[in-house]
Every structure is written in C-alpha cells, then in structure tokens.
Amino acid sequence: MTGKLIIFSAPSGSGKTTIVRQLLSRLPQLEFSISATSRQPRGTEQNGVDYFFLSQEEFHERVSAGEFVEWEEVYNGTCYGTLRSEIERIWQKGNTIIFDVDVMGGINLKRIFGEQACSIFIMPPSIQELEKRLIGRATDAPEVIAKRVAKAEFELSKSTEFDHVVINDDLTVAVEQTHNIIQNFIKG
C-alpha cells in the first residue's frame, strides 16, 4: 500500500500546528499522522488524538522493535517519532498523510519517500516574533521556551533542504500559500 505525503517542519512556535489544523479542515483527503512522544500531555491534548503518549521505556522498546520510520530526541530527553503503523493506516484509506515533525525528521522523511513527499518549511518572520508567539501560546515553562528559541537558529539554517519555504507572517496568506502548494502536489 502506498500513497502521497506532505511534511510540515519549522522551529517550534512558527505556527505550523495552526496552519496544519486549518488545512485539515479545508482538504478532506488529508489525514494527520499521529506521532508517538515520550513527553507528558499538555493542556487538552489526548492520547491517540494529538499524540500517542508513551513512557521513555516503552518508546525505546518500540524503537528496538523497528516500529518507527523515523524518530528523534527533539529536545534533551524527549523523543518523538513516526510509527510505520500510522503510515499504513492512512494510506489504506486512500488518504494523503500530513506530518508535523521537527526539521531533522522532515529532512529524513523526504529522503526516505522522495517524489512521493512534498516538504514544506514554515518560516517565522523573525526569531523575536517566534519567542513572542511561544510566550503568547502560554503552554511552556520559560526554560522550555528558551530551549526552543535556542534551537531555532540551527533549524532556520536547514530551510533550503525543503521543497518549499512559506513565511508565516499573516496567517491567512500562509494558509492560502500552503493550500495551493498541496493542491498542485496532489493533482500532479
């Protein structure tokens, strides 16, 4: 079973989750790949909806069992990964998969799936604005925000490895641009 996939990557706080949510409601053939993570749920997040929340031990057992297509220790001690079973589940329904993964995960998925994949990098207008959005989101402690901002510079340097770069300054414009990129990719 095979199909197409769309990869969204960006430094945390760029707005990719916001953009992906809007695209999912506009394009019914897209289905979100639910990642596994070893972090705790935050806010209203639910197991099996936002993520599969695993203990650190279970995450590594499943890595050893070869259940992940890709996984990364995105932040110190916190792992995230894409389960092979998610890809199979979505392609079996004939849907196109949409991924929200970190920058290295996005580059790896593109390397694995080649022309089957369309990779999109969501660029914040500036690092200052990124920090402002993370503070405004109010979901992370100040030290977590500091870690995410510190990583952003490296992540921005990887944007050229993606098929498309979309600047998320005005949200409506960014959604429109990504929507057009995806429609062209699905048609092609």
Contact window for ligand ADP (CB under 6 A) among 8-16, 77-85, 90-98, 103-111:
8-16
Contact window for ligand ADP (CB under 6 A) among 12-20, 52-60, 73-81, 110-118:
12-20
Q: Closer CB to ligand ADP, residue 114 or residue 136?
A: 136
Residue 168, binding choice from ligand 5GP, ligand ADP, none, Cβ under 5 to 8 Å by partner class: ligand ADP
**4 close to 94: Cβ distance less than 8 angstroms:** no
Q: Which member of 30, 97, 101, 120 binds ligand 5GP (CB under 6 A)?
A: 101
User: Rounded to 5 degrees, what are φ and ψ at 23?
Assistant: -65, -40
Q: Closer CB to ligand 5GP, residue 4 or residue 133?
A: 133
Calpha distance 148→176 (Å, rounded): 27
Q: Which of 25, 22, 45 is nearest to 35 (CA)?
A: 45
Contact window for ligand ADP (CB under 6 A) among 16-24, 34-42, 44-52, 154-162:
16-24
If one asks whether residue 13 binds ligand ADP (CB under 6 A), the answer comes out as yes
If one asks whether residue 105 binds ligand 5GP (CB under 6 A), the answer comes out as yes
The footprint of ligand 5GP (CB under 6 A) covers 12, 35, 39, 70, 72, 74, 80-82, 100-102, 105
The footprint of ligand ADP (CB under 6 A) covers 10, 12-18, 133, 136-137, 168, 171
